[in-house]
Amino acid sequence: MDASSGGPPLTYAAAGVRLDDAEELVRRIAPLARASLRPEVVAGVGGFAGLARLPQGCRRPLLAAGADGVGSKLLVASALGRHETVGVDCVAMNANDVLAVGAEPLFFLDYLAAHRLEPGFVATVVGGVAEGCRQAGCALLGGESAELPDLYKPGEYDLAGFCLGVVEEERRLGPERVREGDRLLALASSGLHANGYALARKALLERGGLRLDRPLPGWPPAPGGSPPPTLGDLLLEPTRIYVRPVLELLRAAGEEVHAAAHVTGGGLAANLRRVLPGGLRAEIERTWPEPPVFRAIREAGEIEEAEMERVFNLGAGFVLVVAAGAAEEAARRLRAAGQEVFPAGRVVRA
């Protein structure tokens, strides 16, 4: 059979990928990236690779790198057609990880893959990434977008990111600096952040039969008498970015801060174990308020407390390990920078 008899010549567009939109995507994304630039950036969006210098004055710099995604929180965004803030989550999950070793996040790259890359949709998502970079003080240096109709169903997409930071070697946070008697300071979360959504969705939507467009039962009105937030509002609350208040503390009293933990999958106890040396453990005291959305998950799913603690942050999104004599002053500085902070226990012998 003559190959030419099967119809018109095959094109990439006929296979589901539209190259003509690529220039339009770059045109929309470039100004978003420019708004987050740092002075170290040499070349950003549009080339084959972003280029940047290390900040001036570095003596013995260590590069800190992280990679993470938003996960199944994207399913909530897709169900509601609200994609404005998932980019903030993407930056937060990476920048907070880099911050946990004491590093200042410098540059960020995003990866967005979807069934179809409609330019307005991409601009909305990347606009959230740029806002996250602004909050974290890092530059959106570049990224990649991929239209994959054979891999993703219509309406499906994935968003991941990569962050690079820098810290002077002698100021690096970690287990080597932790001592018995150090105090724990818990920095309040904004909600679920971007962890545990598989369990949260199953508990709230499947077992609990709740709707994303309705408030949780019994949720009080917002201040001023405005309607209470919907369940979708609560689940799409962006991940808190801790970079600015923590870096302010490290610049002022870095020698008193010994370690830090970003509370993600595994909960508070498991993430604290990652930054404590052998022979020591965290004696945790939960003094911070738990956001009510966690109670709703617990009750709708009939989830045991040990499982809740193992999966969710339960209101503490980032924890600092601080010298005992400096904990009160560190908490004062964090509050002055606008961060809610609570005593959370101490480091003791295992």
Residue 1 has a pLDDT of 46
Q: CB under 8 Å to 27, separation ≥6 — which residues?
A: none
Q: Which two tokens stand for residue 135?
A: 């909050």
Q: Which two tokens stand for residue 102?
A: 């004491």
Q: Which two tokens stand for residue 350?
A: 């295992």
- What residues does 162 pair with on adjacent strands? 67, 109
Q: Which two tokens stand for residue 170?
A: 């002698």
Question: 3.30.565.10, 3.20.20.70, 3.30.1330.10, 1.20.1440.230: which CATH number matches 12-171?
Answer: 3.30.1330.10
Domain ranges of the chain: 12-171, 175-349
Mean pLDDT by runs of 10 across the 350 residues of the chain is 58 56 61 63 60 78 94 96 97 97 94 91 93 94 88 94 94 95 97 95 96 87 80 97 97 92 93 94 95 94 95 97 96 96 95
DSSP string, 196-234: -HHHHHIIIIIIS---TTSBPTTPPPPGGGPPPPBHHHH
Residue 141 has a pLDDT of 85
Residue 49 has a pLDDT of 63
The whole-angstrom separation of Cα 239 and Cα 194 is: 7
The whole-angstrom separation of Cα 128 and Cα 130 is: 5
User: What pTM did the predictor assign?
Assistant: 0.89
CATH superfamily membership of 175-349:
PurM-like C-terminal domain (3.90.650.10)
